[in-house]
Structure 1
Amino acid sequence: MSSAIVLDKSFKKASEIALPESYKGIKEHNLYLYVKSYLASLRANNAKAKKRGEVSGGGKKPWAQKGGGRARAGSITSPVFVGGGVAHGPSNDRNYELKINKKQKRLALEYAMKQKADTGKLYVVDSLSIASGKTKDANVVLKGIGERSVLLVAQSIQDEKTFLAYRNLQNCYFIEASEMNAYLVAAFHAVVIEKPVLEAFLDSGNKGK
């Protein structure tokens, strides 16, 4: 059974919190669809090249139709001229959005959590709060966990001191529960989550079934 590792204040394993048995039946494809949708939503879509109809000028034929020994040309906005329009260039009117329903989002997150639990990389702590607001104290937390990249999930980040303490640390990303998603859980080597957040997440899953 997949379980999250509960750490004590000295970052030693104190107990485990078992994930629901139903997580075993979740298909990996749900995570794939969510990650694809999430990355598509981040695309800036600002690449744009002018077509021949958008280039200024070109109201007059560059030379006579016949008699010059050259190929006929109707406008200098043609793609064959330097400074003319671009043929088959990028356009910023494309919509990259990929829709995914709420159930698939939930299944993707549950699968990502199960993956982390199966590899022993899902950790639970009572609190991630840093009362001093000092980065060196926040670094003690990361060193105690001992993972190369960590997603930190707190119930809330309204505590400015805690936010500032983690902000300048490399290889960690500090978010609140409402920001947690399958992509972030899957992207980091380990996930450290406050106990109330995990309990609320598991409860919400039970109510939805």
Structure 2
Amino acid sequence: MVDCVIKNWQGEEAGTASLDLRVAKEENAAHVVHRALVRQMNNARQGTVSTKTRSEVSGGGRKPWRQKGTGRARAGSNRSPLWRGGGVIFGPKPRDFSVKMNRKERRLALRTAFQSRVADLIVVEEFNSQLPRPKTKELVQAMARWGVIADDKVLLIVSARDENVYLSARNISNLKLISANNLNVYDLLAADKIVATASAITTIQEVYSDG
């Protein structure tokens, strides 16, 4: 169990929150998280790249020149992979890159990845009421009060999407807004700082509990 300080909109300490997640054993943690990361990145690949073999390239029905007597190399088709405009040898074809991983193992990897970022985790109070209208500048100033450096890549986790928060956050290039029930390993590991609301921490512990 880890106790985290909760900060209010002004950046002052306003309480504590407990983070209690069942994580992988230390000797297996890196392996489990790595498998989940590879799975996520592979599953994001479209796999639609395609090249044509010599049998699929148009043309090439006639022998370019006679077999002997020209002084040139033998050639049976101008669609040969050796020719410009010819087919491609062993080129990529459409394929499915997806990797399977058990649901329990995926959740274990997610909990382990989240717990490993506790040192970079900033827990804040709900701030929907502080943004009655979309205001990017106010959100940037609040993050500075919370201890986020301007160049930090930030992952902002909320319990549920609020339109004003979303509109305030979408123009910040180094900030990604995500709801607590849509967490993923890549975003957790890629961020320099993770800012989560207290209710998002509660949601994470409920949604990603053992199972």
Question: Shorter-normalised TM-score: what interval?
Answer: 0.7 to 0.9
In 1, distance between residues paired with 2:72 and 2:43?
49
Change (3 A) 1:57 1:140: same
1:201 CA displacement? 2.0
What pairs with 1:93-112 in structure 2 (closer than 5 Å)?
93-112=94-113
The 8 Å contact of residues 181 and 203 in structure 2, kept in 1 or not, is answered as: no
In 2, distance between residues paired with 1:87 and 1:24?
44
In 1, distance between residues paired with 2:24 and 2:36?
18
In 2, distance between residues paired with 1:36 and 1:47?
20
Amino acid at match of 1:155: S
What pairs with 1:85-164 in structure 2 (closer than 5 Å)?
85-91=87-93, 93-117=94-118, 119=119, 121-129=120-128, 130-147=131-148, 148-157=152-161, 159-164=162-167
Residue aligning to 1:55: 57
In 1, distance between residues paired with 2:135 and 2:208?
36
Q: What do you get for the CA RMSD once the two structures are aligned? A: 2.1
Change (3 A) 1:132 1:152: same
In 2, distance between residues paired with 1:185 and 1:106?
13
1:39 CA displacement? 1.3
Q: What TM-score results when the alignment is normalised by the length of structure 2?
A: 0.85
What is the aligned length? 204
Partner deviation per Cα, 1:66-113 (whole Å, 9 max, x = no partner): 33333322211111222111222232x222111122112211111122
Residue aligning to 2:177: 174
Residue aligning to 1:19: 19
The 8 Å contact of residues 48 and 95 in structure 2, kept in 1 or not, is answered as: no
In the alignment, structure 1 segments of 5+ residues that lack a partner are none
In 2, distance between residues paired with 1:61 and 1:14?
83
Tell me which moved more, 11-20 or 82-91: 11-20
Q: What TM-score results when the alignment is normalised by the length of structure 1?
A: 0.86
Amino acid at match of 1:126: E
* SS at 1:127 equivalent: coil
In 2, distance between residues paired with 1:24 and 1:102?
14
In the alignment, structure 2 segments of 5+ residues that lack a partner are none
* SS at 2:45 equivalent: coil
